[in-house]
Every structure is written in C-alpha cells, then in structure tokens.
Amino acid sequence: MKTQQHWYHNLWLWSVIYFSLGFVNILFALLGLISFCLPLLFAIFGGNKLFCNRYCDRGQLLRFFGSQLGFSRRHDIPQWMHSNGFRLGFMIFFFAMFGGILYTSWMVYLETTSLKEVITLFWCIEFPWSWAATTLVSPAVAQFAFGLYSLMLTSEFIALAAMFYYRPRTWCAFCPMGTLTQSICKRKLPTQR
Ligand code: SF4
C-alpha cells in the first residue's frame, strides 16, 4: 500500500541545499544551528517528538533514500545501537565535540590560535576548504562555521552509512538530538515513552 505524501516529506531537500551551500560559502553552515534549536523548541514547548516524526530534514532524507528509493539493505539494527548506554555515550561524545568547536572558536576570538580553513571529517581527517568569504564575519564566527559544517557532514555520513546497511532511519536510534529531546519529553510527560 502506498503511503500518503505530505509536504513535510519533501523536507529532505533542505539537507541537500544545506550541504550544497557549504560549497558556495562555509558561512551558510551557520544555518545548521536551526537543526540544533528546532527539535529542542518542539520538545521543550510541545513536549512531543513531532519534529522527529515530521519536520526533521535528516529524518526525511533517510526515509526518502532508504524507504522510498529503496537504498537501504534493511539489515536488523544491532541491539547495542538501541541501548541506553550507547545512546547516552554517543550523545555525550557528540556534545563534547560541539563543545570543542565552541572552545576552538573562542581561542580564535582571543587570537590564541588563528583561523583554520579546513573541514574535518570523522574528527580527524582534514580537507582544505578554500571557498569561504570568511572576511565577512569575525574569524571566530568563521571558525565556528567550519566546525559546525564538519560536525554536520560527519554525522550525515554516519547516518547515510547506517541507512545503507541497516534500516532507513537507523541513525535516529542513537541520534544525539533525538536522545536529548526524548529525555526532555519524558520529563515533561512522564507517561510518554
Ligand atoms: S532522531 Fe535525530 S535525525 Fe532522527 S528525526 Fe529526530 S532529530 Fe532527526
């Protein structure tokens, strides 16, 4: 049976636009803050997972490529990926990496270190990224944009790899934003699972 299409099923396009804009100018990476704020706002004020269920561009991208286009091999997701220990550990690691981006940007602001125009994949592989009009903003803001784009791109690659091998939305089983918003929702509505 064919599932009904809704406008929000097309939100996967935002993921494509976002990562494409990073090739135009790295400063567009700052738009990624929307992906950090929106799920939190939905969880804090709505107390629900509506953002995850409908409006998350990454969730829709995984659904589109994995389910609709059939790019997922649909192997069962290993139990440990669902485990609270792994989800919590990955969330702490992810936000620690985000904290590292803030720290590096602060160091650039203090002129302790200089702006590094690279994209870092998987937290260790660096690629020079020269198409960036970083003079439009302070070096610290530009450094933050490089870091945020690196984090978003790394997590996108992990999400796509998990989608290809496991089920389409495997990433959502341990997505740091999903883990965080779920705990917020549970606190607001203790009966909600
Ligand atoms: S779990 Fe993460 S990637 Fe999945 S829909 Fe929610 S915010 Fe998006």
pLDDT by 10-residue block (mean), the chain, 193 residues: 84 97 92 93 90 95 97 96 96 97 97 93 90 78 96 97 97 96 83 46
The residue whose CA is least distant from atom 4 of ligand 1 is 172
Distance 106 CA to ligand 1 centre (A): 28
Give the pLDDT confidence score for residue 175 in this predicted structure: 96
Instruction: Give the strand pairing for 125-128 and 118-121.
Output: antiparallel
Q: Look at residues 42, 44, 18 and name the one whose alpha carbon lies nearest to residue 32.
A: 18
Q: What's the pLDDT at 22?
A: 92
* Res 133: pLDDT: 64
Atom of ligand 1 nearest to the CA of 53: 5
Residue 124 C-alpha to ligand 1 middle, in angstroms?
24
pLDDT of residue 109: 96
* Whole-number Å distance between alpha carbons of 89 and 83: 10
Helices (H), the chain: 12-24, 33-41, 50, 57-62, 79-82, 84-109, 139-165, 171-174, 176-188
Report the pLDDT value the prediction gives residue 189, as an integer from 0 to 100.
67
**Pocket of ligand 1, beta carbon within 6 A:** 39, 52, 56, 58-59, 171-172, 175, 177-178
Q: Locate the ligand 1 atom nearest the alpha carbon of residue 59 and give its number.
A: 5
Atom of ligand 1 nearest to the CA of 179: 1
